[in-house]
Amino acid sequence: MRRALMASFANRLAMPDLRWMPDEGLTPSRLRIELLSGLTVALALVPEAVAFAFVAGVHPLVGLYAAFLVGLITALIGGRPGMISGATGALAVVMVALVAEHGVEYLFATVVLMGLMQIFAGIMRWGRFIRLVPHPVMLGFVNGLAIVIFLAQLGQFKVPGSMVNTGHGVSGGEWLSGGPLYLMLSLVVLTMVVIWIMPRVTRVIPAPLAGIGVVATLVIVAGVDVPRVGDLASIQGGLPSFHIPMVPPTWETLRIILPYSVILAAIGLIESLLTLNLVGDITGKRGGASQECVAQGVANTVTGFFGGMGGCAMIGQSMINVKSGGRTRVAGIAAALFLLVFILFAAPVIELIPLAALVGVMFMVVIGTFAWNSLTILRKVPLTDAFVILLVTVVTVLEDLAVAVVVGVIVSALAYAWNNARRIHAKTYETPEGARVYQIQGPLFFGSSDGFVEMFDPAGDPASVIVDFADSRVVDQSALQAIETVAAKYEAEGKQIQLRHLSRDCHRLLKKAGHLMVDSDDDPDYALAVNYQVRTGILGGH
């Protein structure tokens, strides 16, 4: 028994997919694609990490270190090669209140606890529950996130340095206007055009990297005065160093950080697992959900001890990676290492890159991420599914991803329960012996239990009644109670009721609940229990 338990625990910790190479091997051509894809992602990570650090109210290097560490660790041991992780806005908006009230050291402690929770979720295999997210919720998630990515880029159209950190995030700022605005828009459009044309000319260089390179070269050589990466903040720094969060080890500290840790862990896992599914649809890969939970947890735990703000999967950068050809762990590792090189050595060069080029790349990501086919299928799918798609999209934009997904799943579940509750009905007929048979159609559960009770006519039925569950299934305790209610009504009339064709799992459910007990052998044809009796003797079998 002990060995079995140890083996089971070992299986829970197993990480089945740590492959470094695609099926065809890491050829020179594949290696070039992976490295260039990683470089493209790293360039796109810089302004995102800095911007999200500002949102959370921490130093830009806190966001950059998170992007490096989380990106590197999840690339090494994550559940889906090709995914990119780092500091994200979904987490930053939760962190801002904690940082404003208690300081950055409490943030680091929160990130450590968040990571431990995610590791526990992975060990318990809770990642598989992502399968319960319906497809309409996924469509709403994708569309909402595309809109969020688009809106996030609009901040780059403000005058550099005009935004103010209020202690609750960065807000305000003056919009570009006149010539500077038109110039910015022109460079954004130029970047998008290069990205669109490049695959038709050559695939030697990833299209997003080509777009950044062409526009950056044009701006730098011509000395065009436009907002650049360096206008956000300096990204120059050293290696992240080990740092135990300077918080008192007391119950009061735990009381402060625990609620934030739970929320951050949940948001991080939901966004990561949905991104995992999205990348899996593109790359044709499946599985790895629980492994991704463990990887995210390890990454955040380590990041908290090295001065990072934590993170999760980034759908925008993941899309850049897979669209640029990144399919292995090499691309994610390269992206993280390139980012570290930027921080240590290449900050002066990277800070010269115009923001318009990176905005153009992200706008192309928006176009590629939005599920445009969902606009046409809204008229074809059931009304409830169309409503869920729109609801999740709107909530994602107005609130956050985690709330949107939870709301979408709840609405979908309620709609499913309601539809199944309406399916319950019965066909009735008389046997030669004079008994009335109720042939139940549809599942019997909490939503249909009232309808089930109302189908019977204890006063008008003959002395013997048979309830046939061959085309139904007893699902929960509400169903058991409904059966008991019907039996009690027939008992009050002095009549006999018999149950037939209950499946073995229903049999176990009834027996476990203590409502019914077996009175005879199982039906040999249906492999189902036939005759049951209520302990009071109401339900008799023949």
Q: How far, in Å, CA of 454 to CA of 471, rounded?
A: 18
Nearest to 411 by CA among 419, 423, 400: 419
pTM (global) more than 0.85: no
Within 10 A of 497 (CB to CB), how many other CB atoms are there? 26
Q: What is the 3-state secondary structure (H, E, C) of 369-396?
A: HCCCHHHHHCCCCCHHHHHHHHHHHHHH
The whole-number pLDDT of residue 396 equals 87
Determine how β-strand 516-518 pairs with β-strand 496-500: unpaired
Phi, psi dihedrals of residue 436, rounded to the nearest 5° = -95, 130
pLDDT in the model for residue 521: 40
At residue 46's C-alpha, the angle toward residues 40 and 52, to 5°, is 135
496: Cα separation from own chain's centroid: 52
CB count within 10 Å of CB 101 equals 11
Which pLDDT score, from 0 to 100, does residue 508 have?
66
- Give the separation between CA 92 and CA 82, rounded to whole angstroms: 23
> CA 93, CA 73: separation in Å to the nearest integer?
23
Supply 369's token pair: 């991420």
What's residue 487's pLDDT? 85
**Do residues 312 and 272 make contact, with C-beta atoms less than 8 angstroms apart?**
yes
Task: Report which DSSP code applies to 436.
Answer: E
Asked whether 330 and 79 are in contact (CB, 8 A), the reply is no
In which residue ranges of the chain is pLDDT below 50?
1-2, 5-6, 8-10, 12-16, 167-168, 515-542
Query: Which residues have C-beta within 8 Å of that of residue 64, sequence separation ≥ 6?
Result: 46, 49, 50, 53, 87, 235, 237, 339, 343
pLDDT of the residue at 327: 87
- What is the tens place of the pLDDT at every residue in 78-119? 988 889 999 988 898 889 889 999 999 999 999 999 999 999
184-196 pLDDT tens trace: 999 999 999 999 9
Q: Give residues with Cβ within 8 angstroms of 409, minimum separation 6.
A: 132, 133, 134, 137
In this predicted structure, what is the pLDDT of residue 440?
A: 92
Rg of the chain on CA atoms, in Å: 30
Contact 48, 316 (CB under 8 A): yes
Domains and CATH numbers, the chain: 28-377 (no CATH), 422-534 (3.30.750.24)
Cβ-contact 127, 290 below 8 angstroms: yes
Residue 532: strand pairing partners: 518
**Helices marked H in 80-134:** 89-102, 104-123
SS3 70: helix
CB 314 within 8 A of CB 48: yes
At 416, the amino acid letter reads Y
In the numeric block, the tokens 């669209």 are attached to: 323
Burial label, 465 (beta-carbon count in 10 A; 0-12, 13-18, 19+): buried
- Predicted confidence at residue 23, as pLDDT, reads 53
- Cα 497 to Cα 466: distance, rounded to the nearest angstrom: 6
